[in-house]
């Protein structure tokens, strides 16, 4: 043996021994961990695992039923090595997503996400340097202090919504879409749709509706069998691929229109201050930092594609609940009249602290019908053990918001719409002010202050101005309101007929005056 080989042996052999010992220790440790069971869940089938067990309709309640069936608030299912952990209780969600946030900050790489062209969605980005850059800028744009800058836009568009309701109350669904899309488009691009028939409204609506459903773990077999994304859409049975390609095409159009409009308005000297118009005005439409442009566009696109869908959801739920709960409507209006004076003025953001019952209506609305009843899944970055259960690295960990907000242990009679549950025995608002629909941990919705402002002003303004109830038939009898809704994506009420009337002539005049 040469001196060199001899000296190398003193280095290589001990190193190999250390590697072998550590590998054996890791293997033994892993085997020890795997002696622990997965959380309860449906029994896997041969070859397919639980691929056929994932619900595709009424998904949030179906996962909640799993808790009753398997007597556990944390559940597990898998297919072809992909693990899904469903969390149905607030305590477990806080334990995992917040107290162990460093393990649960990531997002899974959803196979269908790339097919539908949603790589731009900041909420879906994997945890890392690129996401952190987006998060930092998003925080600067939308944190609670920065949210105040958007209040004039929100006020302007809520007043436009009131005027539309006054003139064409039967088209409340269209007015809802107009409001819900206009606010994020104005914030991001300074773009106000010309009318409810503007192509961007239909595109944004359809894109979000299709995309959110496809993202569900059982929304398409592509999420369970990733290789299916390579199957051509013309192959019989490739329904998910056809929908995904349609969604991708709509997504590209949805991205193109507002950016081109922002640049066109700047060239004409007609641009309104907004995230993208301010950026292009600062640098010009050429010679700007491409990375910053990419981040700002991603944030702006995410804001209007996500915010529009959730606002449409919450506004639709609000109108349904007010039409079917006249006693809640009357109590809120009594409070508003006491603070505002009937027909004297419209509510503004400074009134929020003086309207506790209206605040309770807001909380209860988002409790009973969370706009996204299933939160976007988190991805586990390392093996974890929770309450004696083994949670494998790479698992998709899904917070079932609907199950948490309908937990009888926290909210007795959870299906009943009852704003009074948010008051203590002294008649004051209680401490239960957290809106679970905004998510958990470092993945909490960064725009929650803006979203909260929009919904609160909409609720207060509508109730101050209108009374909503059942429509009447030709003989003057009330028509039963259709209570059907879809939770496979965002919570969406199916179209229903109702009566929307201004509360007085003075209020009608007040609404008309907002045009000035």
What tokens were used for 327? 């006693």
Collapsed DSSP state (helix, strand, coil) of residue 486: strand
Q: Which residue matches tokens 């009852």? A: 418
What tokens were used for 501? 């009337």
Residues 356 and 361: their CA atoms lie apart, in Å, by: 9
Indicate if the alpha-carbon torsion angle 68, 71, 75, 77 is positive or negative.
negative
Say what angle helices 326-340 and 290-324 make with each other, to 10 degrees: 110
Beta-sheet pairing, 396-399 with 82-87: parallel
Q: Within a 10 A sphere around the Cβ of 242, how many other Cβ atoms?
A: 14
Could you tell me which residues come within 8 angstroms of residue 494 by beta carbon, excluding any fewer than 6 positions away? 482, 484, 485, 486
- Three-state SS for 435-452 is CHHHCCHHHCCCCHHHHH
What tokens were used for 40? 């309860």
Residues 36/42/46/50 CA torsion (nearest 10 deg): -100
Collapsed DSSP state (helix, strand, coil) of residue 124: helix
8 A C-beta contact, residue 392 and residue 380:
yes
Q: Is 355 left (phi over 0), alpha (psi -120 to 50) or beta?
A: beta
CA angle 212, 217, 221 (to 5 degrees): 100
Phi/psi at 117 (nearest 5 deg)? Answer: 80, 30
- Which stretches does DSSP call E strand in 80-213? 82-87
Longest C-alpha distance within the chain, in Å?
108
247 is in an annotated binding site: no
Q: What's the length of the chain?
A: 516
In terms of Cα–Cα distance, which of 308, 307, 395 is closest to 76? 395
Residues 370 and 406: their CA atoms lie apart, in Å, by: 10
Collapsed DSSP state (helix, strand, coil) of residue 205: helix
What tokens were used for 336? 């508003």
Collapsed DSSP state (helix, strand, coil) of residue 409: coil
What tokens were used for 298? 């991603």
Collapsed DSSP state (helix, strand, coil) of residue 47: coil
Could you tell me which residues come within 8 angstroms of residue 370 by beta carbon, excluding any fewer than 6 positions away? 401, 402, 405, 436, 437, 491
* Binding site as annotated, residues for heme: 445
Q: Give binding residues as ranges.
A: 445
């Amino acid at each position: 043996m040469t001196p060199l080989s001899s000296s190398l042996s003193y280095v290589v052999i001990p190193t190999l021994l250390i590697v072998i010992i550590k590998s054996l220790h890791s293997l033994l440790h892993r085997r020890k961990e795997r002696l622990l069971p997965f959380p309860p869940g449906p029994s896997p089938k041969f070859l397919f695992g639980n691929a056929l067990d994932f619900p595709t309709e009424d998904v949030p309640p179906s996962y909640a039923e799993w808790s009753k069936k398997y007597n556990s608030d944390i559940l597990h299912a898998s297919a072809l090595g992909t693990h899904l952990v469903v969390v149905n209780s607030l305590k477990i969600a806080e334990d995992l997503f917040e107290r162990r946030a460093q393990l649960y900050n990531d997002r899974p790489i959803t196979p269908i996400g790339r097919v539908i062209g949603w790589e731009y969605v900041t909420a879906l980005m994997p945890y890392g340097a690129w996401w952190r850059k987006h998060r930092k800028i998003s925080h600067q744009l939308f944190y609670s202090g920065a949210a105040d800058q958007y209040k004039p836009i929100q006020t302007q568009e809520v007043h436009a919504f009131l005027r539309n309701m006054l003139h064409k109350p039967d088209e409340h669904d269209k007015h809802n879409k107009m409001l819900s899309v206009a606010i994020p488009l104005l914030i991001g691009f300074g773009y106000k749709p010309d009318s409810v028939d503007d192509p961007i409204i239909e595109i944004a609506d359809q894109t979000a509706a299709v995309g959110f459903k496809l993202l569900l773990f059982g929304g398409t077999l592509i999420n369970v069998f990733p290789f299916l994304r390579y199957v051509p859409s013309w192959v019989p049975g490739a329904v998910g691929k056809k929908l995904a390609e349609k969604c991708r095409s709509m997504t590209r159009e949805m991205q193109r229109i507002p950016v081109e409009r922002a640049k066109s308005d700047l060239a004409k000297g007609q641009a309104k201050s907004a995230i993208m118009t301010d950026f292009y005005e600062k640098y010009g439409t050429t010679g700007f930092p491409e990375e910053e442009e990419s981040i700002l566009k991603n944030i702006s696109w995410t804001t209007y594609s996500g915010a529009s869908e959730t606002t449409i959801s919450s506004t639709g739920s609000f109108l349904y609940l007010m039409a079917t709960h006249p006693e809640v409507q009357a109590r809120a209006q009594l409070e508003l009249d006491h603070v505002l004076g009937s027909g004297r003025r419209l509510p503004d953001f400074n009134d929020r602290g003086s309207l506790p019952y209206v605040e309770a209506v807001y909380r209860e609305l988002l409790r009973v019908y969370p706009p996204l009843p299933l939160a976007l899944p988190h991805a586990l970055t390392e093996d974890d053990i929770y309450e004696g259960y083994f949670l494998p690295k790479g698992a998709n960990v899904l917070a079932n918001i609907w199950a948490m907000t309908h937990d009888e242990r926290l909210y007795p009679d959870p299906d009943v719409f009852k704003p009074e549950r948010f008051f203590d025995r002294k008649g004051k608002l209680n401490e239960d002010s957290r809106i679970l629909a905004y998510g958990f941990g470092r993945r909490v919705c960064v725009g929650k202050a803006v979203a909260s402002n929009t919904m609160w002003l909409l609720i207060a303004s509508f109730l101050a101005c209108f009374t909503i109830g059942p429509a009447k038939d030709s003989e003057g009898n009330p028509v039963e309101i259709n209570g059907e809704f879809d939770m496979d994506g965002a919570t969406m009420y199916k179209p229903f007929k109702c009566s929307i009337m201004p509360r007085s002539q003075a209020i009608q005049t007040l609404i008309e005056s907002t045009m000035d």
